[in-house]
A and B are shown apart, each in its own frame.
Chain A
Amino acid sequence: MEGKSYQRLPRVKIREMRDDYMKFELRDTDASVANALRRVMIAEVPTVAIDLVEIEINSSVLNDEFIAHRLGLIPLTSDRAMSMRFSRDCDACDGDGQCEFCSVEFHLRAKCHSDQTLDVTSKDLLSSDHTVVPVDFSDSAGMESSEQKGIIIVKLRRGQELRLRAIARKGIGKDHAKWSPAATVTFMYEPDIRINEELMDMLTLDEKKAWVESSPTKVFDFDPKTEKVVVVDPEAYTYDDEVIKKAEAMGKPGLVDVIAKEDSFIFTVESTGAVKASQLLLNAIEVLKQKLDAVRLSEDTVEADDQFGELGAHMRGG
């Protein structure tokens, strides 16, 4: 029953990469695969996030629910999440979510003793597992490591106190946005911009400049030496059609031709820090593979159909 294969061989090229940011090209596949990757990266790659909070003392200005919600949104390093268990599937603890396979415990104790406001941050969360800790942003660019203190949870004045215990669990973004490892995942069709040089030469210098100016983003530039219009950054084009309308208004329709290449995509991935951007893509591919595996037909369905098929053939033949 092995049929002909229609498999594609997609190509990837990394353009830019940092721990929490990645830009890459994806070629030789279609929008459905690109979009599936985007959707899985946002909603189905698992991470660990605080899910249960037991508040012992809270005399801060924020109420318990607010603090619990804020704690849930703090990104935790989740490199281990792929191999962790969902607490509802965990055999070791019957889904109570307090065992090493499916949960991590956090403690927070903070009290303000001085007249200065005390910032309670994600750094004050003490983890029971060194692999799952609040994401540290101190090494990211633009911030001095000494001044970076983590994510502020609440501010305390003199005498106010916050004491709590929290349980972090594995989850996916489809369940709740706090489990989403991606701040942003987006892709665009790679634009193919061609200027009709013949028509362009018919324009005066001022017209050329005006036409270049009509684009809201810097896609084209006017080279004063050669007196030609050149495409400087095709990806800055936002498919807004402004330059096409401008060309029509100038009486030169067809001055520029913009085609979206339907098999080439430029991806931008921004991670919350829970997993590295590159790992996020790898995890997404893995999750998508697992999902595909799960939708394979089960043996009994195939068997039932085979019998039905024989019967059908028999009936058709008779």
Chain B
Amino acid sequence: MAKQTMAFSLQALRYRADQKLYHLQTPQSPIVRTSAYKKYCMDECPTGTNAIIGVFHHMKSRYDMEDAMILNKSSVESGMFHGQIYQTETVDLSDQKSRSDGSRKYFRESNIESYRSIDSDGLPCVGQFSIHTIKPDEEYYSIYNEVNNEQHAVKQKGSEDVIVDYVTIDGKKHLQNHPQKHMFLLSGFPLLCPFCVAGNPVIGDKFSSRHGQKGVCSQLWPDIDMPFSEVTGMRPDLIINPHAFPSRMAIGMLLESIAAKVHSTGMVDQITSQPIKGRKRGGGICFGEIERDSLLAHGAAYLLHNRLHTCSDYHIAAVCSTCGSILTPSVIKPEKRVARAVKGLPPVRAPKVFCHASDTNKGMETVAMPYVFKYLAAELAAMSIKMTLQLST
């Protein structure tokens, strides 16, 4: 629980160098707890915060369909659900040395170009310099090669803005590699730069109760537009849809799924060319097995086809009607226009498809199919299983 969520999973944050660590800024002890909570000393490492929740259909906003939820903008600004993500970046110049020419490398500020996030020692500036964080693809440390007198700055690889928490020498690793050397200069030493990424709530973040009732934040709603208690003036911190409570078979839920129809314009997987999963990589909301079953139960076959095929990995493949294979037909790349002109051939019209197995370009049919089907055929071929298609009109 503490590992998966934004929680307070450890107390010696300063002296740790975890690969990735989610850290909740203001954890709280839950108002309602089980006896085991005390037994396991959960208060030492709390796993969440208490919040005022409104359960109603916030019709005005139209932002609470599916399992979406609305957060109170003012609550978030006052620190609710704030946190940091710590990542550790290790730079080992001795590694780079052994791989190449054996030259010595140092961290040194470039004397050709100055970078905003690189300090005078060639290492990243600690903290935010002015109001600038280290952007993705921004140079954050520079290396000087003693032998060939080369300098180069290394870019940040992540996809989010980061702030360097501190820079330190990885003493343990250093001692293993160079037991006889003392620390002098910053050459060849493995370095640790714990990064800190602001993990404050943004649209698209997922929030969950302790019972797995989860939702995705769809809006940061202004406090003044929230409903309020007449007597105490209390406003909800977050609003969830009552539809999240009854059985998932609710017809209203299904209708909302259709309303929530997300157009397939997102990123796709490299191999299957299907939409990818996960918000971080730019993916969408999953239309999974349960959703498929409920659509089948309602006989909404066309919608299902649209969701799982047209909006997913729609692909037109050429099938050879002679051998029935979808793998052997391939598009013959027409020669470049210049090459054709030299040979005195007319310019290309349509690319031709040629089946290598049947050694012909006749009887090629185009068939619409999910791209994974072609992938499946390729996987089966790798196991020496031939898949043939029989075409009929």
Q: Are these two chains actual partners, yes or no? A: yes
Q: Footprint of B on A, CB under 8 Å?
A: 38-39, 42-43, 52, 55, 61, 63-66, 69-70, 73, 173-174, 176-178, 180, 184-189, 238-239, 268, 270
Within 8 A of A (CB), among B296-316: none
Q: Which of B78, B79, B127, B228 contacts A186 (CB 8 A)?
A: B228
Given A64-B127, A65-B198, A66-B25, residue A180 in contact with residue B74 (CB < 8 A): yes
A63 touching B230 by the CB < 8 A rule?
no
* Bound CA–CA A270/B233 (angstroms): 10
Whether the Cβ atoms of A176 and B128 lie closer than 8 Å is no
13 A-B pairs whose Cβ atoms sit less than 8 Å apart in the complex: A39-B224, A42-B224, A43-B223, A61-B13, A173-B223, A177-B77, A177-B78, A178-B78, A180-B74, A184-B234, A186-B231, A189-B230, A238-B231
Q: Which residues of A contact B21 (CB under 8 A)?
A: none
B223 A42 Cβ-Cβ under 8 A? yes
Within 8 A of A (CB), among B191-215: 196, 198
Interface on B for A, CB 8 Å cutoff?
13-14, 25, 73-75, 77-79, 82, 84, 127-128, 131, 163, 165, 196, 198, 222-224, 228-234
Q: From the candidates A61, A64, A174, A189, name the one contacting B222 in the complex (CB within 8 A).
A: A174
Query: Out of B73, B79, B131, B196, which one reaches A63, CB within 8 Å?
Result: B196
Contact B230–A238 (Cβ < 8 Å): yes
A52, A177, A189: the one contacting B223 at CB < 8 Å is A177
Tell me, in angstroms, the Cα distance from A42 to B228 when the chains sit together: 12
One of B13, B82, B165 near A69 (C-beta < 8 A): B82
Contacting pair A186 B223 (CB below 8 A)? no
List B contacts of A188 (CB < 8 A): 230-231
| Cβ contacts under 8 Å, B74 to chain A | 173, 177, 180
A65-B163 in contact given A42-B224, A43-B223, A178-B77 (Cβ < 8 Å) = yes
The 8 A-B pairs at the shortest CB distance, nearest first, are namely A186-B233, A188-B230, A184-B233, A177-B74, A177-B77, A39-B224, A43-B224, A177-B78
Structural contact, B224 and A55, CB atoms closer than 8 A:
no
Given A177-B78, A184-B233, 7 new contacts (CB under 8 A): A43-B223, A52-B131, A65-B198, A174-B222, A180-B223, A186-B229, A238-B230
The interface residues of chain A lying within 8 Å CB-to-CB of B224 are: 38-39, 42-43, 174
Closest to A62 in B: B25
| Least Cβ–Cβ distance between A173 and chain B, in angstroms | 7
Query: Inside 8 A of A73's CB, which chain B residues have their CB?
Result: 78-79
CB closest residue in chain A, given B73: A177
Measured CB to CB, the closest approach of chain A to B272, in angstroms, equals 40
Kindly report which residue of chain A lies nearest to residue B80, judged by CB atoms. A177
Contact at B222–A43, with CB atoms within 8 Å?
Answer: yes
Question: By the criterion CB–CB under 8 Å, are A186 and B73 in contact?
Answer: no
